[in-house]
């Protein structure tokens, strides 16, 4: 069993980006600039956006955080998005999800300029990705593909099962696995809450990607020997014995599954760090397209 170390891999990507930024500064060019809109005080979102801001600082990017109160109206958010769309100093930006219930996420995401949509959620980018055209790939699926590439894992001809059909992870993951590239060319089964006899399907899989958000959902008896296990789940589970009052759990029963897997991602330290690294990669891509460098 080999642990797919997302933290170490992400640090390598950040070091590569930092070197490119250093060269830009030496050439008297400005560094890339990433902005984020955060609405409310969701604990997970605050932690995640904080990690993004610190990562920007570490590699030399400029960053802007627009933190709005929970009661912010949809119109006010759309005005902030319009400001970022028209600001030439901003190369890319994200709107941190989830948004408060009184905000229509679809309307908000549609308002983002696709050329600055470094999360890759806009239909323009999603559609281009599906057609193998140049686009921004959603950061989590992008991170998974990059992790497989850097560990030189060949998935061609393998059966991949994706658990979860969200627009953020599940659906783009199924598209990327099946595309004609490396890594790619897998045969994909996309499963969800209405899938019947899921354990029988996962047990036949060479690769399982779980993006369900249910702690310890994937058990040892649901996977076959030498399967590749990618755990996207990140759930805060209350734990009074822990200093923070909670622990982070993935979708996979790691202790039960790890000895059957050929490769497996840990939680934390697997897919999460890769998501942030690829957001930074997308921001550099947006910068390069924007300034033609």
Beta bridge partners of 35: 64, 93
Q: How far apart are the first and last CA of the chain?
A: 41
Q: Is the separation of the CB atoms in 62 and 32 below 8 Å?
A: yes
Active site residue 119: yes
Q: Where are the alpha helices (DSSP H) in the chain?
A: 6-26, 43-59, 74-86, 105-111, 123-130, 139-150, 170-178, 198-202, 254-257, 271-291
Picking from 171, 258, 247, 168, the residue whose alpha carbon sits closest to that of residue 215 is 247
Of the candidates 5, 14, 52, 116, the residue annotated as catalytic is 52
Of the candidates 5, 14, 80, 96, the residue annotated as catalytic is 96
Active site residue 158: no
Distance CA 191, CA 153 (A): 23
Of the candidates 117, 119, 231, 251, the residue annotated as catalytic is 119
Active site residue 96: yes
Residues designated catalytic: 52, 96, 119
């Amino acid at each position: 069993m080999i642990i797919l170390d997302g933290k170490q891999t992400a640090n390598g990507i950040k070091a590569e980006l930092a070197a490119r930024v250093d060269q830009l500064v030496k050439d008297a060019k400005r560094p890339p600039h990433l902005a984020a809109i955060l609405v409310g005080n969701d604990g997970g979102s605050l932690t995640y956006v904080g990690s993004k801001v610190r990562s920007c600082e570490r590699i030399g990017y400029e960053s802007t955080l627009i933190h709005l109160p929970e009661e912010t109206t949809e119109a006010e958010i759309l005005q902030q998005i319009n400001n970022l769309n028209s600001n030439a100093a901003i190369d890319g930006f994200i709107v941190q999800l989830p948004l408060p219930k009184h905000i229509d996420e679809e309307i908000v995401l549609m308002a983002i300029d696709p050329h600055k949509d470094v999360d890759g959620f806009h239909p323009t980018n999603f559609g281009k990705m599906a057609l193998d055209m140049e686009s921004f790939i959603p950061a989590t699926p992008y991170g998974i593909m990059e992790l497989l590439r850097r560990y030189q894992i060949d998935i061609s001809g393998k059966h991949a099962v994706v658990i979860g059909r969200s627009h953020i992870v599940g659906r783009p993951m199924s598209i990327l696995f099946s595309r004609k590239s490396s890594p790619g060319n897998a045969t994909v089964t996309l499963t969800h809450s209405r899938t019947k006899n899921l354990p029988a399907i996962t047990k036949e899989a060479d690769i399982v990607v779980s993006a369900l958000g249910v702690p310890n959902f994937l058990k040892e008896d649901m996977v076959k020997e030498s399967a590749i296990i990618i755990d996207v789940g990140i759930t805060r589970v209350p734990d009074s014995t822990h200093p923070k009052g909670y622990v982070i759990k993935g979708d996979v029963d790691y202790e039960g599954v790890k000895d059957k897997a050929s490769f497996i991602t840990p939680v934390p330290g697997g897919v999460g760090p890769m998501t942030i690294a690829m957001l930074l990669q997308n921001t550099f891509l947006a910068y390069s397209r924007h300034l033609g460098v």
